[in-house]
């Protein structure tokens, strides 16, 4: 299974000239001189960047988990501190942070790197943090049918830190719980304790 770095947004690639044109127009509208040396290649650079940061549109996140393995391990599995970068759909400003994923298998496990690829597939598009959190949990629940899933996302949003209220360093924390984690406070507490170590 290819990693997200192997994907680009083909729609951006096929519309590159139009994107470059519109980026140039935006630069003019904000008062820039699009002919100055530092900006001559900016529209092309932005289009290439969009191919990469919006690569999630080219991937079905459910396919990213790929092959699963039969394994009679029914204790908590956690992958924490998965770094993500995304774009806020409200302002098209970056937000970034860490995702922590835990699940209790019911006879089926995924390769650990596949969890990081799932995060990439979900986050590399216009998003909101709440949806990212729920989508990761739902996809794991559907694909692996585990006893429980818990996802915690910690994000720093430039739309809040660098504009508007301007509170740098503020973090947004969201969680999604499914199955046993929803019903069992001790399981939730164990997950939270382990991701804080």
Looking at the structure, do residues 87 and 43 belong to the same domain, yes or no?
Answer: no
Q: Give strand pairing partners of 69.
A: 109
| Catalytically active residues, by annotation | 88-91, 129, 157, 159
- The predicted model scores a pTM of 0.92
Looking at the structure, do residues 150 and 102 belong to the same domain, yes or no?
Answer: yes
88 belongs to an annotated ligand binding site: yes
> What is residue 3's predicted lDDT score, i.e. its pLDDT?
54
**61: in domain:** no
Looking at the structure, do residues 32 and 126 belong to the same domain, yes or no?
Answer: no
**88: in domain:** yes
> What is residue 1's predicted lDDT score, i.e. its pLDDT?
41
Strands (DSSP E) along the chain, which ranges?
A: 68-70, 77-88, 94-104, 108-110, 126-127, 148-157, 172-179
Query: Domain span at residue 99?
Result: 67-196
pLDDT (tens, 9 = 90+) of the chain, 197 residues, equals 455 556 789 989 899 999 999 999 999 999 999 999 999 999 999 999 999 999 999 999 999 988 888 888 889 999 999 999 999 999 999 999 999 999 999 999 999 999 999 999 999 999 999 999 999 999 999 999 999 999 999 999 998 887 777 778 889 999 999 999 999 999 999 999 999 97
Q: Are 87 and 56 in contact (CB under 8 A)?
A: no
Structure tokens given for 129: 């943090």
**62: in domain:** no
Looking at the structure, do residues 75 and 50 belong to the same domain, yes or no?
Answer: no
CATH of the domain at 31: 1.10.286.10
> What is residue 13's predicted lDDT score, i.e. its pLDDT?
86
Residue in the block written with tokens 């990213």? 64
Looking at the structure, do residues 86 and 30 belong to the same domain, yes or no?
Answer: no
Q: How far apart are CA 83 and CA 80, in angstroms?
A: 9
Looking at the structure, do residues 158 and 99 belong to the same domain, yes or no?
Answer: yes
Looking at the structure, do residues 160 and 94 belong to the same domain, yes or no?
Answer: yes
Number of domains forming the structure of the chain: 2
Looking at the structure, do residues 36 and 100 belong to the same domain, yes or no?
Answer: no
Looking at the structure, do residues 32 and 84 belong to the same domain, yes or no?
Answer: no
> What is residue 146's predicted lDDT score, i.e. its pLDDT?
97
């Amino acid at each position: 299974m290819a990693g997200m770095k192997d994907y680009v947004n083909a729609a951006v690639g096929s519309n590159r000239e139009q994107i470059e044109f519109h980026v140039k127009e935006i630069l003019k509208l904000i008062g820039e001189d699009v002919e100055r040396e530092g900006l001559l290649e900016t529209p092309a650079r932005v289009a290439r960047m969009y191919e990469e940061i919006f690569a999630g549109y080219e991937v079905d996140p459910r396919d990213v988990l790929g092959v699963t393995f039969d394994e009679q391990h029914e204790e908590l599995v956690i992958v924490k501190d998965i770094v993500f970068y995304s774009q806020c759909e409200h302002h098209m400003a970056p937000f970034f942070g860490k995702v922590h994923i835990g699940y209790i298998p019911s006879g089926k496990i995924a390769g650990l790197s596949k969890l990081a690829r799932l995060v990439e597939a979900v986050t590399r598009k216009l998003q909101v943090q709440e949806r990212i959190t729920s989508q990761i949990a739902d996809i794991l629940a559907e694909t692996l049918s585990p006893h429980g899933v818990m996802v915690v996302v910690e994000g720093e949003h430039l739309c809040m830190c660098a504009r508007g209220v301007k509170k740098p360093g503020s973090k947004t924390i969201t969680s999604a719980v499914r199955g046993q984690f929803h019903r069992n406070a001790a399981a939730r507490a164990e997950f939270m304790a382990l991701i804080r170590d």
